Each structure stands twice: as C-alpha cells, then as structure tokens.
Structure 1
Amino acid sequence: MTTNSCTIWAPRVLSILRIVAGYCLLWHGTSKYFGTPGNAIEGLQIFSMMGIAGLIELVAGVLLIIGLFTRSAAFIASGFTAAAYFIGHVAGKGMLLFPNMNGGEAAVLFCFIFFYLIFAGPGPWSIDALRGKSE
C-alpha cells in the first residue's frame, strides 16, 4: 500500500476507530445496567459511582457510534476513563505506571483513543459530518 492510498483512507479509518471505540464503551454500560453481555450490577443506583459510570458509557457510547457531538462526547469519555483508571485500577493497587499489572490497560487505551478524537474529530462517516459540523 502506498503512502498516498493510506492518506486517502485515513479519514475513513478515523470514523471506524470512533465507531469501534464507542461500540466497546457502550457494552460496558449495557453490562452494568442490563447484564448484556455479562452480569448486571444488582441494585445499581443511577446516582452511585457505578450508576453514573454506566450512564456515561451508554450515552457517550451511542453518541460516538453515530458521530453526534463527537468532540464533546470524546472529552467526557476521555476524562471518565482516566478517572476510571485512577479510581478503579491504581487506588489501592498502586502500580501507577504499570497498567498491565493493575488491570487498567483497557481504561488507558480508551482514555487516549477518546483524547485523540477530541482533536481529530468524528471523521466523514458521522452525523456531525452530515450536519457540516465538527463542533
């Protein structure tokens, strides 16, 4: 593949990255609330830490999949996943610089993928692009 063909495909691949990352985030929320896939959290309260996490995962996941308000959704998702890393993986376990040791690899990757989307935007396959807005 030549450099030129990679450059031509870059915006489309950005859209694919956004869709897949949003899809993966969405399933974390559906798992918490609906037990699909996995097990629902029994007695989950919407205003608890896990309840708010699930709500962010659901809403931001859908917005990222369809590419609506992408930069704002990515900003919230990036901050949320950074907090998830420090609260859920570093606190009590230590190993700040070793996500493979504290189980936080997914949170770190999510954080930086969403951080990238804040600056890169939604890509051409998005509602934002159809609206002629990248926010």
Structure 2
Amino acid sequence: MFDSLAVTWAPRLLSVLRIVAAIIFMLHGTQKILGFPAPPGSGLPAMMTIYWWAGMLELVGGALLLVGLLTRPVAFILAGEMAFAYFMGHAPRNFYPVLNGGDASILYCFVFLYISAAGPGPWSLDAAMRRRV
C-alpha cells in the first residue's frame, strides 16, 4: 500500500518541495534587491557587490525554480551559492551552524543539490515542455 502511495505522491511532493523552497528563497532576494517585505538591517546593497549578486541569484533563481524552468542547472548554481554563503558569511563567525546563523544556508544547499539531481517533478515548465515534444 505504501509503495503505491510513494509511486503516486513522491514526484508530486518533489514539485511541492521545489515550489515551497523557491518561494521562501525568493523572499531573501526580494528583501535584498527590492526591500520587500522589509529592507535588510544594513540597507539595500550597492549594485554589483557580492551581496547584490546574491540577491539577484535568489530573486531570479528562485523565480526560475518556482515555475520549474531550467530547474537542474539553476538548482545546482543556487546550491553553490548557498555553500559559498555559508563558508564566506557564516562559518567564520562560529563553528556551530546554530550559533553562526548558517543553518538555513546548509539546508538550502542540500535541498537545491537534491533538486538538481532529482529534477523538478511533474508540476513544472520543464516537465510540460518535455511532454509537448
């Protein structure tokens, strides 16, 4: 019984994981780039700085993941961004992720790495384009 449920629901829940992760991830980009829902405490980053590029990756990459377009390469790039964010911004503060604020970066990194390997799931533009061919 559970095997048949898994066959039916695992691909759909992969799509749900991708969509929910993308929405939450995009909020980091909208905060950095658009100041929404509130600007960062340090203010909006200057254009072309590392923080600005991170916001652009989060905003644009998150939007692409949300709709499931170019999912595998985008998720791989975002996993790399999160690894970079962790080791450059969080790890120097403290060894323990719960103390250095990097636990979300680690989680995003591995969720995106999984999505880059597993694909977007059936509810995506990538899957829709594959069905049309």
Fold conserved between structures, TM > 0.5:
yes
Per-residue deviation, residues 92-135 of structure 1 (Å, max 9, x unmatched): x130xx211211110000000000011100000000001108xx
Q: Which runs of 5+ in 2 are unaligned?
A: none
3-state DSSP of counterpart to 1:3: helix
Size of the alignment, in residue pairs?
130
Q: Which residue of 2 is the match for residue 124 of structure 1?
A: 122
Q: Which residue of 1 is the match for residue 37 of structure 2?
A: 37
Q: Which residue of 2 is the match for residue 9 of structure 1?
A: 9
Q: Which residue of 2 is the match for residue 115 of structure 1?
A: 113
**Match runs of 1:1-135 below 5 Å:** 2-40=2-40, 42=43, 44-91=45-92, 93-95=93-95, 98-132=96-130
Q: Which runs of 5+ in 1 are unaligned?
A: none
The one-letter amino acid paired with 1:56 is L
- Contact conserved, 1:46 with 1:55, CA < 8 A, in 2? no
With normalisation by structure 1, the TM-score equals 0.90
More helix by share: 2
3-state DSSP of counterpart to 1:115: helix
Which whole-Å CA distance do the structure 2 matches of 1:115 and 1:46 have between them?
28
With normalisation by structure 2, the TM-score equals 0.91
Q: CA RMSD in A?
A: 1.5
